[in-house]
Amino acid sequence: MSVAAIILAAGKGTRMRSKRAKVLHELGGEPMIARAIRAAAALEPEPIVIVVGHQAREVEAAVSFSRARFALQEPQRGTGDAARCGLGRIPMGFTGDVLIAYGDMPAITPATLRAFLEAHRKRGAKLSLISIILDDPAAYGRVIRDGGGKVEKIVEFRDASPAERAIKEINTGFYLVDAALLRSALAELKPGNAQGEYYLTDIVAIARARGESEKVEAWVATDPAEFAGINSREELANMEAEIRAAVNRKLMQSGVTLVDPACTYISEQAEIAPDCVIGPNVQIIGMCKLGEGVRIDGTAWLSNVTIGPRCHLKLGVRAEDCVIGEESEIGPFANLRAGTELAGHNRIGNFVETKKARLGRGTKASHLSYLGDATIGADTNVGCGVITVNYDGYDKHQTVIGDRCMVGCDTQLVAPVKVGSDVFVASGTTIVREVSDGSLVMSHHPQREKAGWMAAWRKRHGDSPDGSLRRSKDHQD
């Protein structure tokens, strides 16, 4: 039998106290809805429908799942109305089961949903829901069973009697429903409740009232933590901490040293080889890959970075969407922006910024330089204060520097420009034309002096010839 899925993600999330839709808030470096979609996708549903409402365009833009369809719920009139909107995007000829899940319940695992589907079909149910037992069921909807233990209905906490509120079995909100039953049950929903909304939970009582032909089952899950919803900033932070702790445990078990796991933030998508050492206050976000023996001293921010074996990232490195070849030394306080590619055995030192820069093997830029839109060959040394002048106010332009060059301090290369191999660039040079291989290039101006100029300058400002009056005033200030 085939499966379709509806993920409800239309709500605003009032308790988040945010202008952003709740499902757009991030967990583990990605919008929480991405985690819910990934779990549902494990059942290979076709189609998978995301019901959007508040900030619908932003939510759609955040969903990277290529097979997703979207249904707009406007206005938002409850979960039953949301499910009805989602069902409208599933072809009328579909005859399988429909999974209903939530975009703000990101802890659910694919394994749990697979087990739920297996139990649903094994029992021959037309409607199954996932329930859990809680010592303190709080304000969740209660699962009401008859004397024989069969599910009768779901009662929301606001509408429950004192006796019903004493029940500890609660509804998680996850359903598997035969498509034909879902269509007919949703058509019968009425807003007869304290909120004046269409409750999805009412489909349980509707199915049960039809007798054994519409068999209803509750599958009791064993791990309540998977069904924790995100309704506040505190709950978001708590789940983030749980995710981070689980990632860190797994990494340490695989042979990675985390100097201080409590302040190390690593995404679940990151791949980190054994014998890496990661210092405190490090964030490794997205699809990062760290080769064996990489050392990160601390206070680093890395996003979608590939780092070769035995590299050393010193304090304060920031890098995104770039490649760092093996045995390179980066930092302290270096900024490798998107498009940077280091071939290996490179040195990018303190206060160096790169952007779309490709550096050949062994090339170094040790301090205080900007290398943007540049291709630099192997074994070239870039001195202090070198700038590739890549922007003319409208467009970016390329700088090309060859192999084995010595680029002196305080050099500006005004792009587009090409410097050949084996070139020595004298300090303070401004390069505006192509430089041939093997050349010495310079653009020095003659040094000029005006004897006695400083005494006249001080006299003009009422200072003594040796500057003592100025120093005395500075000391008083």
Q: Express each pLDDT in 129-179 by its tens digit.
A: 999 999 998 888 999 999 888 999 999 888 889 999 999 999 999 999 999
Q: What is the rounded CA–CA span in Å between residue 327 and residue 113?
A: 44
pLDDT at 298 over 90: yes
Mean per-residue pLDDT, 315-333:
98
Q: What is the CA radius of gyration of the chain?
A: 32
Q: Where are the domains of the chain?
A: 3-227, 248-441
For 74-84, write each residue's pLDDT tens digit: 988 899 999 99
Query: What confidence score (pLDDT) does residue 104 get?
Result: 93
Mean per-residue pLDDT, 420-432:
96
Q: Which two tokens stand for residue 17?
A: 């106290």
Whether residue 267 contacts residue 283, with contact meaning beta carbons closer than 8 Å, is answered with no
Confidence bin at 444 (pLDDT 50/70/90): confident
Q: What is the rounded CA–CA span in Å between residue 137 and residue 247?
A: 29
Exposure class string for 450-466: b at 16+ Cβ within 10 A, else e? eeeeeeeebeeeebeee
Q: In 10 A of CB 319, how many CB atoms?
A: 27
Q: How do beta strands 412-414 and 430-431 pair?
A: parallel
Query: What confidence score (pLDDT) does residue 1 get?
Result: 74
For 357-386, write each residue's pLDDT tens digit: 999 999 999 999 999 999 999 999 999 999
Q: What is the rounded CA–CA span in Å between residue 29 and residue 56?
A: 21
DSSP code, position 384? T
Task: Determine if the peptide bond prior to 332 is cis (ω within 30°).
Answer: yes
Of the chain, the percentage scoring pLDDT greater than 90 comes to: 79
For 271-283, write each residue's pLDDT tens digit: 999 999 999 999 9
Q: Which two tokens stand for residue 179?
A: 């498509």
pLDDT at 71 over 60: yes
Of 198-207, 208-217, 333-342, minimum mean pLDDT range = 208-217
Mean per-residue pLDDT, 3-17:
90
Of 36-50, 137-151, 292-306, 381-395, minimum mean pLDDT range = 137-151
Measured N-to-C along each axis, helices 79-87 and 179-188 cross at an angle, to the nearest 10 degrees, of 130
Query: What confidence score (pLDDT) does residue 476 get?
Result: 61
* DSSP β-bridge partners for residue 283: 265, 301
Contacts of 240 (CB under 8 A, 6+ apart): 27, 28
Contacts of 392 (CB under 8 A, 6+ apart): none
Whether residue 262 contacts residue 241, with contact meaning beta carbons closer than 8 Å, is answered with no
pLDDT at 195 over 80: no
Q: What is the rounded CA–CA span in Å between residue 42 and residue 113?
A: 8
Residues acting as catalytic residues: 367
Tokens 């009768």 found at: 152
pLDDT at 410 over 70: yes
On average, the pLDDT of the chain sits at: 93
pLDDT at 477 over 60: no
CATH 1.10.3720.10, domain 3-227, yes or no:
no
Whether residue 28 contacts residue 288, with contact meaning beta carbons closer than 8 Å, is answered with no
pTM above 0.85, yes or no: no
HEC readout, 316-360: CCEEEEEEECCCCEECCCCEECCCCEECCCCEEEECCEEEEEEEC
Domains 3-227 and 248-441 agree in fold: no
Q: What is the rounded CA–CA span in Å between residue 240 and residue 157?
A: 28
Confidence bin at 295 (pLDDT 50/70/90): very high
pLDDT at 445 over 60: yes
**CATH number of the structural domain 248-441:** 2.160.10.10
From residue 273, alpha-carbon distances to 175, 312, 325, 328, 445 in Å are 40, 14, 15, 16, 53
Query: What confidence score (pLDDT) does residue 159 get?
Result: 85
Query: What confidence score (pLDDT) does residue 448 get?
Result: 86
Q: What is the rounded CA–CA span in Å between residue 205 and residue 144?
A: 10
Confidence bin at 474 (pLDDT 50/70/90): low
